[in-house]
Structure 1
Amino acid sequence: MNKSPSAQVLQEAAEWLVRLEGEVGAAERNAFRDWLDADPEHLQAIERLQGSMAALRDLPGEPARAVLDSLARRRAARQPIKALALAALLLLPIGLALQQFPPSYLLADIRTGSGQWSTRQLPDGSRISLDGSTAVDLQFDGQRRTVRLVQGEIRLDVAKDATRPLLVLTEHGSVRALGTRFVVEQLPDSSWVAMIESTTEVDSAGKRVVVQAGQAVRFDAAGPGALQSIDAAGIEQAWEQHQLLVRDQPLDQVLERLARNHRGYLMYDPKDLELLRVTAVLPADDSQRALRLLARSLPIRIEHYPPLITRVSLERP
């Protein structure tokens, strides 16, 4: 059984369908042919989107009608980007749902939806807070205390237990704590831990580093990076006020974090935006306002395709 195209490939396919709409030169056609030949997944994505666009015209209910109405208005106004191929992503309800909320999320012991924050007590008396679109699995017994971060970001206030250290597992390593308060976030390419109180030990790719209060470290498949100084009180306050505290972070990672609490599909090309660096305090519970704030200081364009798509792209000179 063939694997469904990834979100990145679907996005590239949608962009190609937009570029190929209208008059196209030989160079553009050859480039498209090369892209198709580069990976069988590319053809699957094109066929998936083309089938979805056909289904759009026959879909009777909302939000499909709203999408079509919006596209008609945009075409009448001769908008420079034709949104049909992009809006086709809306018509992959199963594919997009599984990309944003995979089975591991749906089957998790604790999870939150987009724009939803939650705090609860764990079996050992520890307290865990979950950001939006976050999920964890728990394993607590007489020998161990384990929290597996499936996706998203958590804040932990760990109850002391001299015989059972609490382990937070991510795709990129583990965080070991006895009694402390810290934040752990998992992004596609790396994980991040920020210490608010006490210390933890991060183990990644066979390398270990101790993280003290007021420090943070990012870790990935290569192991932990360099320790960084942080404003621990500021991070705690940001959690309480549903803010996103960003310090010299690539824009694509900032958008990945904002997407957890974004209503709809936030579309962007990570490679286009990764060189833009961001230092800011953004409202995590109002992603549209956060995007407007980013657009004031960065060369980016924000486009809306109601009801569910927002596209962020690099402003070309």
Structure 2
Amino acid sequence: MSRPEPEALDPAIVEQAIQWLVRLRFNQADEQTQRTFEQWLQQRPEHGLAWQRVETLGDEFEGVPAQLARQTLKGAQQGMRRRESLKLLGVLATVGTAAWLGRDYTPLPSMLAQQRSSTGEQRRFQLDDGSLIQLNSDSAVDSDFDAQRRLIILRRGEIIVNVGADQHSPQARPLWVQSRDGIMRAHSSRFLVRERDDGTLVAAQEGSVTVFPGSGQASASRNVLAGNQLLFTSSDARRFRDNGLDLWGWGDGVISANHMRLGDFIAELSRYRPGVLRCAEEVADRRVSGTFQLADNDRVLALIAQSLRLHIDYRTRYWVTVTAAT
């Protein structure tokens, strides 16, 4: 069954939303620009709907030059057919997307990944070898299996992998996960991989995972044992510093914090909500403890507001600020 077509929007409003995305995401936006944007959001309900759609697409273009991102976003939002989208992506690859990005890894393939989740959605699916994959909010993965190995490619976001026994293969095939920062070999039945701004986080719940940063040289490998975490980039690796977040909670549909800094908690919660969710500096160092259901983001905000004497400022549905209660 085909998906229903999204509600049609005035092309002029879509164009405005794209312009705002470029200004806010791909340029340095001052407070005056942000206030003007908030006023635009509040003018008409269609502005909020257009922003929600374009803002979700904009996650695909982190690091891409503004003009290129603007052209591609506009085509996608106008209802470009899959064949036309593939053609455009092919053109981008031909003219050298990697050169524009200044690195080999590009986020564009996540648009066409085999498995994807939207903002606020968690999904799970099973691979041919019996492995169970859980996708966190706004995540994308591909899988590439052959006779010698099993490869999972994390295009964006975060996954939990429960490694299957691969019983139907005539030989034991190692399972690998590739991220933008390197490659990992699983020796465990359950582990987590998350792409962060400062690198790739890997955590093992059972067994272990061997991490090969960058080009995968064995001399630079690090072993992550059960109960441990490692944060690595293409050039180095270090033990991940715990900030009070239960890394595994989202797999059960919850966000669980133990004396976690409020600013960090709100940043984590914002992953599950379209639009902007931010925390005022005046309350950012307050501490949060508790377990909250991710399915109701607004209720989470209401609960912490009650316990920490906060005010939740809903300027629009897509622009929310956590401040001190007066």
Equivalence map 1:120-135=2 (5 Å): 120-135=125-140
Matched, 1:16 2:21: no
The partner residue of 1:282 within 292, 301, 304 is 292
The alignment-based identity, stated in percent, is 25
1:200 Cα offset (Å): 0.7
Matched, 1:305 2:315: yes
1:253 Cα offset (Å): 4.8
Aligned to 2:157, the other structure's residue is in SS state: strand
Q: Is the 8 A contact 1:250 1:273 kept in 2?
A: no
1:156 Cα offset (Å): 0.7
1:240 Cα offset (Å): 5.3
1:216-263 Cα deviation digits (max 9, x unpaired)? 2223455322267999xx766x3453112345666555444323322x
Distance 2:182 2:288 in 1: 26
Given residue 203 of structure 2, which amino acid in structure 1 is its aligned partner? A
CA RMSD of aligned residues (A): 4.1
Distance 1:56 1:274 in 2: 26
* Match of residue 186 from structure 1: 195
1:204 Cα offset (Å): 2.5
Equivalence map 1:255-274=2 (5 Å): 255-262=266-273, 264-268=274-278
1:185 Cα offset (Å): 1.9
The partner residue of 2:255 within 244, 259, 263 is 244
* Match of residue 25 from structure 2: 7
1:253–1:235 distance in 2 versus 1, CA, 3 Å: closer
1:285 Cα offset (Å): 1.9
The partner residue of 1:198 within 199, 202, 207 is 207
1:290 Cα offset (Å): 2.3
Aligned to 1:259, the other structure's residue is in SS state: helix
1:151–1:302 distance in 2 versus 1, CA, 3 Å: farther
* Match of residue 141 from structure 1: 146
TM-score between both structures, scaled by the size of structure 1: 0.62
Q: Which runs of 5+ in 1 are unaligned?
A: 22-48, 68-89
Aligned to 1:104, the other structure's residue is in SS state: helix
Q: Is the 8 A contact 1:300 1:312 kept in 2?
A: no
The partner residue of 1:97 within 31, 56, 64 is 56
1:217–1:274 distance in 2 versus 1, CA, 3 Å: farther
Distance 1:5 1:266 in 2: 15
Distance 1:250 1:222 in 2: 29
1:166 Cα offset (Å): 1.5
1:272-292 Cα deviation digits (max 9, x unpaired)? 887666554332222222223
Q: Is the 8 A contact 2:311 2:325 kept in 1?
A: no
Given residue 175 of structure 2, which amino acid in structure 1 is its aligned partner? L
Distance 1:226 1:181 in 2: 19
1:173–1:314 distance in 2 versus 1, CA, 3 Å: farther
The partner residue of 1:210 within 223, 228, 233 is 223
Q: Which runs of 5+ in 2 are unaligned?
A: 1-18, 62-107
The partner residue of 2:117 within 103, 106, 112 is 112
Distance 2:299 2:227 in 1: 29
* Match of residue 85 from structure 2: none
1:33-92 Cα deviation digits (max 9, x unpaired)? xxxxxxxxxxxxxxxx59x94x986x7xx434xx6xxxxxxxxxxxxxxxxxxxxxx655
Distance 2:293 2:151 in 1: 31
Aligned to 2:272, the other structure's residue is in SS state: coil
Equivalence map 1:75-86=2 (5 Å): none
Q: Is the 8 A contact 1:168 1:176 kept in 2?
A: yes
Distance 2:174 2:282 in 1: 42
The alignment covers a number of residue pairs equal to 252
Given residue 142 of structure 1, which amino acid in structure 2 is its aligned partner? A
Most deviating of 101-110 and 269-278? 269-278
1:295 Cα offset (Å): 3.7
Aligned to 1:288, the other structure's residue is in SS state: helix
The partner residue of 2:184 within 175, 179, 182 is 175
Aligned to 1:200, the other structure's residue is in SS state: strand
1:128-183 Cα deviation digits (max 9, x unpaired)? 11123221111111233221222222111112467532222222333211442112
1:303 Cα offset (Å): 1.3
